[in-house]
């Protein structure tokens, strides 16, 4: 009886929260809300409430296991790459962990997202962050970039994700992570977070030197079939290729802990789409 009552109470709370969110979006469609995304250091980000990420931040469901893993893993003095930084949620968390002796490098091609990112870095008074205003790909040069109505769906391709509503295309600079590391004189990168709506495979292809170096690298990355198919590959082939390259792969279980991946499972790229790789 108590368990049933608890479930009903939780369901009611979710409905009330959902209703309150919809009312705020209807009354203030352009509202920028401020969210605490780092409970340990009080890190804040301002983000459009009426967006996929804004909704998840409002309900406290945005990448909770992934952010917790970043907080737990990073150490002072380390180098963190935030590929597809968007508004800087991961960057804000990472910058506090690596401290003044470490550094965060953000890569973001979206104009609105760059404005959000730079504003949130200033909001948190972070000085150990460098921003690259472009996309990461398998090679350095330029590419056409799809700007979507919801910036979380921006991509280097038209994907098959139903939420990607493209409003314009623009040419953006691209860089491979190998070239960027060489340009910046970086001897190592300790942690990469990669979330680029299907272009993840291209990012890995442009980071072969970094991943083949003697230094250990941890990569938190997204692999989602609806996005990957827009680039002509499947999550199954992508994960299989990473395993063949000798990377150790993991996914998050229901408790937020890492579980080793030995082989592809049908739920990968569908219900499960955030993974961790280690060299």
How do residues 130-140 score in pLDDT, each as one tens digit? 999 999 999 99
Instruction: Tell me: do 6 and 132 sit in the same domain.
Output: no
Residue-range definition of the domain harbouring residue 21? 1-29
- The reply to whether 243 and 149 lie within a common domain is yes
d(CA 138, CA 218): 19
If asked whether residues 22 and 79 sit together in one domain, one would say no
pTM for this one?
Answer: 0.92
pLDDT at 244 over 70: yes
Residues of the chain with pLDDT > 70: what percent? Answer: 91
Q: Measuring CA to CA, which residue among 133, 38, 154, 156 is closest to residue 91? A: 38
Give yes or no: residues 22 and 140 share one domain: no
Q: What is the pLDDT of residues 143-181, one digit of tens each?
A: 999 999 999 999 999 999 999 999 999 999 999 999 999
What CATH number is attached to the domain comprising 104?
3.40.50.150
Q: What is the mean pLDDT of the chain?
A: 93
């Amino acid at each position: 009886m108590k368990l049933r009552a608890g479930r009903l109470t939780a369901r009611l709370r979710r409905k009330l929260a959902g209703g309150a969110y919809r009312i705020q979006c209807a009354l203030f469609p352009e509202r920028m809300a401020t969210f605490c995304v780092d409970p340990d250091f009080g890190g804040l980000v301002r983000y459009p409430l009426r967006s996929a990420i804004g909704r998840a931040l409002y309900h406290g469901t945005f990448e909770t296991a992934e952010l917790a893993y970043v907080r737990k893993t990073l150490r002072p003095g380390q180098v963190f790459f935030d590929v597809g930084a968007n508004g800087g949620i991961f960057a804000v968390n990472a910058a506090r962990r690596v401290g003044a002796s470490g550094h965060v490098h953000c890569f973001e091609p979206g104009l609105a997202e760059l404005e959000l990112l730079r504003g949130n870095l200033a909001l948190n008074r972070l000085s150990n962050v460098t921003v690259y205003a472009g996309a990461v790909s398998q090679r350095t040069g330029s590419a056409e970039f799809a700007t979507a109505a919801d910036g979380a769906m921006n991509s280097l391709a038209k994907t098959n994700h139903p939420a990607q509503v493209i409003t314009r295309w623009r040419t953006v600079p691209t860089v491979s992570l190998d070239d960027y590391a060489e340009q910046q004189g970086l001897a190592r990168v300790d942690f990469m977070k990669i979330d680029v709506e299907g272009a993840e495979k291209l990012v890995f292809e442009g980071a072969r030197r970094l991943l083949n170096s003697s230094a250990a690298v941890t990569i938190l990355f997204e692999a989602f079939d609806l996005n990957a198919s827009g680039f002509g590959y499947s999550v199954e082939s992508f994960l299989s290729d990473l395993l063949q390259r000798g990377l150790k792969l993991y996914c998050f279980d229901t408790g937020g802990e890492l579980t080793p991946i030995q082989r592809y499972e049908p739920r990968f790229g569908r219900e499960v789409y955030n993974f961790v790789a280690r060299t």
